[in-house]
């Protein structure tokens, strides 16, 4: 199979990408690559049966068997949800007290183990969807305030959220995150990452667009960030830094919307993460209302990373907290350039590694110097995310042992124009069927099962 790749502007050594990253608590990542969180929506969905709800499936384990052999420094899970009723999608993995069982613990422990096969750190991303919970999952999810999500970029509607009372913030948010972090620790994960970006609950608190509260969780930036700091402190009280357990956060560098978090506010929040001794921060941007995974300017397109200019300005606040930047990286040149320009220390990869789960390994060996160049419009997040979802399902069809150790087995080559045309048709059919299912009151299938 001959894959078309993004042209690498200048041929440059990838050596720097293979350097270790050291965390303040002494843990070490074997190189600078981060597998970003990518929701698979392939866990079980059984809201009426807590013990069967949100269990990782064999498909998920097979997917991570591939990434666990891809030579990442750190591998994040997809968003694992902490509240069984506030999901990003029906089919998320969930960790919650009422759902605890030997089966769940065994599955999560196995998940951690296969992520670490070739030396990567296994980190669970913890999230609470809040007002970004689809209406079909829950018409009245929690949020900081009762601001409904209207102009969704996805084929989904969202109900009007209920604002959490001050007491509920502790019970429904802080306690749930702490429970899930302890669970991750007990199951052998090396750390957790709080999902504080992309408009999910924690960023509903930090963003002035969605936080209109007048109690200690609203108003000033300090108040809006309070819930995150309370979660951090409560986790550290249970799992001290001396255990080596990492705590990081995915944070927005900017939200391009009215009243959205500004660069200055993001910088201020990052200053707090540094002083609170977060182990790492992954910089991203945007929300469902204003997706930002695209090139807003020509200067960004050349340098690939969507949030590079923001990262460069935030970077100086970090000293001991390790910084990752995710979004848009496609060539070795751009990755090395971002590190040399001190915009970031680590490189997060999302869509390129569903096309090629061992991209870091190939880059470090020097056998490739860029990602597969698919034929989708690169600014079309909906289509490229659906395509990535399909590739993950394909990755999950067998383990490396079944696949005779061919890591690319079954993965569609979207650098082939004809395959992309067929996918576009499959996606169009999928959306028509989703419309019919929704009209019939049924849950639509979350991903396009392709080929």
Ligand X SMILES: Cc1cc2nc3c(=O)[nH]c(=O)nc-3n(C[C@H](O)[C@H](O)[C@H](O)COP(=O)(O)O)c2cc1C
Six token digits for residue 1: 């199979």
In angstroms, the CA 100 to CA 95 distance is 8
Q: Which of 158, 163 has the CB closer to ligand X? A: 158
With 0-12 / 13-18 / 19 or more C-beta atoms within 10 angstroms meaning exposed / middle / buried, residue 159 is middle
Query: How would you classify the pairing of strands 28-29 and 21-22?
Result: antiparallel
**Alpha helix stretches (DSSP H) within 68-163:** 102-115
Place of tokens 């396009």: 448
In angstroms, the CA 338 to CA 309 distance is 10
Question: Among 63, 322, 349, 434, which residue sits at the site for ligand X (rule: CB under 6 A)?
Answer: 349
Shortest distance, CB of residue 64 to ligand X, whole angstroms? Answer: 14
**Does residue 389 belong to the site contacting ligand X (CB under 6 A)?**
yes
Q: Which of 142, 376 has the CB closer to ligand X? A: 376
Question: Among 99, 260, 328, 396, which residue sits at the site for ligand X (rule: CB under 6 A)?
Answer: 328
Task: Find the part of the chain contacting ligand X (CB under 6 A) among 205-213, 235-243, 383-391, 393-401.
Answer: 383-391
Shortest distance, CB of residue 166 to ligand X, whole angstroms? Answer: 27
**Does residue 388 belong to the site contacting ligand X (CB under 6 A)?**
yes
352 to 381: interface string for ligand X, x by CB under 6 A: x-----------------------------
- Binding-site size, ligand X (CB under 6 A): 22
Three-class SS string for 52-63?
A: HCCCCCHHHHHH
**Does residue 68 belong to the site contacting ligand X (CB under 6 A)?**
no
Shortest distance, CB of residue 271 to ligand X, whole angstroms? Answer: 22
Span 108-147, contacts to ligand X by CB under 6 A: 125
Span 181-240, contacts to ligand X by CB under 6 A: 195, 198
**Does residue 350 belong to the site contacting ligand X (CB under 6 A)?**
yes
Q: Which of 206, 213 has the CB closer to ligand X? A: 206
In angstroms, the CA 125 to CA 36 distance is 9
E strands in 277-391: 280-284, 322-326, 346-349
- Beta partners for 126? 80, 194
Task: Find the part of the chain contacting ligand X (CB under 6 A) among 260-268, 346-354, 398-406, 426-434.
Answer: 346-354
Task: Find the part of the chain contacting ligand X (CB under 6 A) among 95-103, 213-221, 227-235, 350-358.
Answer: 350-358
Question: Among 293, 310, 333, 450, which residue sits at the site for ligand X (rule: CB under 6 A)?
Answer: 293
Per the document, the length of the chain is: 451
In angstroms, the CA 305 to CA 328 distance is 4
In angstroms, the CA 163 to CA 336 distance is 44
DSSP 8-state class, residue 197: -
Question: Among 71, 351, 361, 430, which residue sits at the site for ligand X (rule: CB under 6 A)?
Answer: 351
In angstroms, the CA 197 to CA 71 distance is 26
Task: Find the part of the chain contacting ligand X (CB under 6 A) among 12-20, 32-40, 359-367, 425-433.
Answer: 32-40
Question: Among 29, 86, 206, 326, which residue sits at the site for ligand X (rule: CB under 6 A)?
Answer: 326
**Does residue 75 belong to the site contacting ligand X (CB under 6 A)?**
no
Question: Among 29, 39, 145, 345, which residue sits at the site for ligand X (rule: CB under 6 A)?
Answer: 39
Shortest distance, CB of residue 326 to ligand X, whole angstroms? Answer: 4
Question: Among 130, 327, 346, 446, which residue sits at the site for ligand X (rule: CB under 6 A)?
Answer: 327
Could you please report the per-residue DSSP string of 148-185?
Answer: ---S-SSS--BPPPEEPPHHHIIIIIIHHHHHHHHHHH
Q: Which of 29, 287 has the CB closer to ligand X? A: 287
Nearest to 98 by CA among 216, 29, 179: 179
Question: Among 184, 314, 385, 411, which residue sits at the site for ligand X (rule: CB under 6 A)?
Answer: 385
Task: Find the part of the chain contacting ligand X (CB under 6 A) among 55-63, 152-160, 253-261, 326-334.
Answer: 326-334
Shortest distance, CB of residue 43 to ligand X, whole angstroms? Answer: 12
Task: Name the residue number minimizing CB distance to ligand X.
Answer: 350
In angstroms, the CA 285 to CA 267 distance is 13
What's the start-to-end Cα distance of the chain, in Å?
16
In angstroms, the CA 339 to CA 323 distance is 10
Q: Which of 239, 392 has the CB closer to ligand X? A: 392
Helix (H), strand (E) at residue 336? helix 332-340
Interface residues with ligand X (CB under 6 A)?
A: 36-39, 78-79, 125, 195, 198, 250, 284, 293, 326-328, 349-352, 385, 388-389
């Amino acid at each position: 199979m001959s894959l078309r790749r993004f042209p690498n502007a200048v041929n440059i050594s990838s050596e720097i990408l293979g350097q270790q990253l050291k965390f303040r608590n002494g843990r070490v990542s074997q190189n600078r690559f981060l597998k970003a969180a990518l929701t698979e929506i392939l866990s079980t969905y059984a809201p009426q049966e807590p013990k069967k709800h949100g269990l990782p499936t064999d498909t998920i384990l097979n997917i991570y068997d591939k990434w666990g052999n891809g030579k990442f420094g750190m591998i994040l899970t997809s968003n694992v949800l902490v509240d069984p009723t506030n999901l990003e999608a029906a089919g998320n993995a969930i960790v919650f007290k009422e759902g605890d069982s030997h089966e769940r613990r065994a599955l999560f422990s196995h998940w951690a183990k296969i992520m670490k096969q070739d030396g990567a750190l296994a980190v669970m991303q913890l999230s609470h969807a809040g007002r970004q919970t689809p209406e079909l999952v829950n018409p009245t999810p929690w949020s900081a305030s009762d601001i409904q999500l209207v102009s969704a970029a996805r084929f989904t509607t969202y109900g009007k959220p209920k604002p959490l009372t001050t007491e509920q913030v502790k019970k429904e948010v802080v306690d749930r995150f702490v429970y899930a972090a302890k669970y991750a620790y007990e199951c052998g994960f090396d750390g957790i990452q709080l999902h504080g970006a992309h408009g999910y609950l924690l960023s509903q608190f930090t963003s002035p667009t969605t936080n209109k509260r007048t109690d200690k969780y609203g108003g000033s930036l300090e108040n809006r960030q309070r819930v995150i700091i309370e979660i951090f402190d409560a986790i550290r009280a249970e799992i001290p830094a001396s255990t080596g357990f990492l705590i990081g956060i995915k944070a927005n560098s900017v939200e391009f919307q009215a009243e959205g978090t500004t660069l200055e506010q993001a910088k201020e929040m990052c200053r707090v993460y540094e002083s609170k001794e977060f182990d790492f921060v992954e910089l991203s941007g945007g929300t469902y209302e204003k997706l930002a995974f695209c090139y807003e300017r020509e200067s960004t397109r050349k340098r690939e990373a969507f949030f590079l200019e923001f990262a460069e300005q935030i970077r100086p606040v970090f000293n001991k907290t390790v910084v990752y930047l995710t979004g848009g990286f496609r060539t070795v040149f751009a990755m090395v350039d971002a590190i040399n320009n001190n915009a970031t220390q680590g490189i997060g990869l999302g869509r390129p590694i569903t096309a090629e789960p061992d991209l870091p390994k190939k880059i470090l060996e020097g056998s490739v110097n860029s990602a597969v160049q698919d034929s989708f419009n690169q600014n079309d997040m909906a289509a490229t995310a659906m395509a990535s979802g399909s590739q993950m399902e394909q990755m999950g069809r067998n383990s490396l042992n079944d696949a005779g150790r061919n890591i690319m087995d079954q993965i569609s080559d979207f650098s082939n124009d004809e395959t992309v045309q067929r996918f576009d048709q499959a996606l169009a059919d999928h959306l028509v069927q989703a419309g019919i299912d929704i009209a019939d009151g049924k849950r639509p299938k979350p991903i396009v099962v392709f080929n």
